[in-house]
């Protein structure tokens, strides 16, 4: 089963480690937060790193306070077992998970957390991807 997430949080996969550029380390930390939060329930697999685009947030059903075009990261991941994860579970697991902000985001966050439970401030959403 495949899922796709859209987020206003910079989740660029840089593969940076201690001693590398501090900005790249913080971006990698956000990416690892995504993988580890999903990993609380399942082992996610992915082929491509998150992709950055600049588009209208309304298109992705992100928070109403985020107007106009914003940087949006898209990430597709796969899980082995069909019913091991659901959109509802992902929304519950990600709500209020801390993030590192002020990286390459164009959106400004009131609090440095993933928000899924408030339609005005939502900065991450999920959808199921159909296999082709």
- Tokens 């609090």 correspond to 111
Reduced DSSP (H G I as helix, E B as strand, rest coil) percent helix, strand, coil of the chain, to 5: 20, 25, 55
Which tokens hold the place of 102? 């002020």
pTM: 0.95
Range(s) of the domain holding residue 61: 2-129
CA distance 116 to 28: 21
Total domains in the chain come to: 1
Using alpha carbons, select from 2, 27, 30, 23 the residue that is nearest to residue 114.
Answer: 30
Please give the angle made by the CA atoms of 99, 95 and 57, to the nearest 5 degrees: 75
Residuewise pLDDT in 10s, the chain (132 residues): 999 999 999 999 999 999 999 999 999 999 999 999 999 999 999 999 999 999 999 999 999 999 999 999 999 999 998 889 999 999 999 999 999 999 999 999 999 999 999 999 999 999 999 866
């Amino acid at each position: 089963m495949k899922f796709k997430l859209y987020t206003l949080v910079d989740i660029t996969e840089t593969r940076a480690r201690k001693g590398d550029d501090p900005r790249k380390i913080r971006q990698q930390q956000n990416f690892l937060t995504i993988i580890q939060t999903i990993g609380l329930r399942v082992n996610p697999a992915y082929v491509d790193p998150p992709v950055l685009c600049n588009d209208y947030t309304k298109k992705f059903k992100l928070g109403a306070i985020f107007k106009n075009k914003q940087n949006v990261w898209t990430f597709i991941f796969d899980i082995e077992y069909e019913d091991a994860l659901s959109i509802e579970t992902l929304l519950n697991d990600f709500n209020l998970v801390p993030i590192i902000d002020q990286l390459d985001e164009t959106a400004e966050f009131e609090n440095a957390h993933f928000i899924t439970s408030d339609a005005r401030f939502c900065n991450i959403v999920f959808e199921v991807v159909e296999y082709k």
